[in-house]
Structures are given as structure tokens and as C-alpha cells.
Amino acid sequence: MNPFSLESEQYALYRPTYPNELIELIVSLSPNLFFAWDVACGNGQLTFELSNYFEQVIGTDISQEQLENAQKNDNILYKVESSSLSSIGNSNIDLITVAQAIHWFEFDTFYSEVKRVAKPNAIIAIIGYELLSISKEIDECVFDFYSNKLNDYWDERRRYIDEQYSTIPFPFEEVKIPQYNCKMRWNRDELIGYLSTWSAVKKYKQKNGIDPILELKEQIYRLWNENDIYDVFIPILTKIARIK
């Protein structure tokens, strides 16, 4: 079962947003603004942003539930399709994006599909994000939850994020860009909502019948007053290339 099919409304509500500066930079690299393909688009967060620039955006995901909660626009076409087998024609796409999902893919078959659908000089942009940072005390609680409480419930491929995407196969010559961060202003319940979307949390609940967030929530509430709003920073991972 796709862990992100469960509670897809919550996923759509709490996932971090990407900075406009990063999106604008990626769009500026694209040779044309005709067709973009957002792969494993989930709730359509990035898909929607791309629709403000491209004539047509295709968002694909294996989860029907995610797509039902995706952000809509007249020039967005959502399809239930895998990353390795799409219905897109040959040499059609100007920009291919993958946001916080590449580590789930079968790399060889995905990159074969990328090369098939890409126009000459099209851009592929892989985006991900690391653990968040709020304050020393809260960060320690979240890291302990991530690395100890949930240690046995993360998929083995999660290591690619821990390794900052440095070990992910990428058969293209990278275009180097500046470091970006997701920057949000959250209350404590928004933090808990985001942590509840983690795949390892869902696996823990399925196996044990207990929500592991409840214990963490008590710890966070002791550190974070109800009416306080904190700055939240999440370092963004990128791999970007022009497809020759």
C-alpha cells in the first residue's frame, strides 16, 4: 500500500511549501514554457505552482486519493500513472520535476522514461527536503523521534534523504544552484500535523495500533506555548540538469 494514500487530506494541508525563488529559477532554466511534467505529484503543490508558468502541466501519481485532493487549475491534467510508465508522447516535455519522491523510484526505468519524453535541452529538477529546524530544544525532540522512536519504521530508501541525495543515481551533468530553504511560520499544531504525515508514523500506527505522535505532542506542548508562532526552516535538496 502507498503510505501517502492514507490521510491524503492531511498530507495536502500540512506539507511544506517551496520558495518562489527556487521555482522561478527552475522555470527560467527551461528552454520553453509549453509542457511540464510533475512526477509523483502527490497533492499537486508544485504542479499548481508550475501551472502559473507553463501552458500545460501534467501531474502523475500512483495514488488516486492524493490526486483527488490535489490543487486544480484549468491547464493541469492529473493522471494515475507510475514514474516509469507514463502516457506522455516522445520528446514532448520542457521541464520534468520530482518533489520529495525520487528516493521511492526505480531509478533506471524512471530515467529511461525521462529521456523518452524530454525535448532536447529539457530540464529535470529533483527537489527534496531534510529535517526541519525550529529551536534547539524542539529540534532535539524531533530528531530523537525521527532517529530513535521511528528508526525501525522508515523505508530503507529514506537513507537517500539522510545522505542529502548525494548517493542517488543521476545520469546527467548537474547544474549548480544556490542553497534554498523552506521557510514557514507555524504554530505548534501545524508542526504536529506535518510530523503526522511522515510515512514512518503511518507504519508505526499500522503495526502497533498506537499513534507515536501522542507522546511527542506532549513533549512539544511543554516547550511551545499555545499562542506562539515560530519560524520553521527546512533545508532543500536539489539535483538539476539539462537533458542533452
Tens-digit pLDDT profile for residues 19-70: 999 999 999 999 999 999 999 999 899 999 999 999 999 999 999 998 998 9
pLDDT given for residue 1 in this prediction:
44
Q: Could you tell me if 201 and 150 are in contact, meaning their C-beta atoms sit under 8 angstroms apart?
A: yes
CATH of domain 8-243: 3.40.50.150
Domain boundaries, the chain: 8-243
**Angle (deg, nearest 10), helices 136-144 and 213-223:** 170
Q: What is the pLDDT of residue 9?
A: 57
The residue whose grid cell reads 503526522 is 196
Q: What is the pLDDT of residue 2?
A: 46
Is residue 80 classed as helix, strand or coil in its secondary structure?
A: strand
Which residue blocks in the chain are alpha helix, DSSP H? 8-14, 20-29, 45-51, 64-68, 107-117, 136-144, 159-162, 188-195, 199-208, 213-223
**Average predicted confidence (pLDDT) for the chain:** 93
Q: CA 43 to CA 168: how far, in whole Å? A: 24
Does residue 137 contact residue 110 with C-beta atoms inside 8 Å? no
Q: Please answer whether residues 58 and 70 qualify as being in contact, where contact means their C-beta atoms are separated by less than 8 angstroms.
A: no
pLDDT of residue 12: 57
Low-confidence residues of the chain: pLDDT under 70: 1-13
Residue 185: which residues within 8 A CB-CB, separation 6 or more?
A: 229, 230, 231, 232
What kind and span of H or E run contains 148? none
Query: CA–CA separation, 91 vs 116, rounded Å?
Result: 6
pLDDT of res. 6: 45
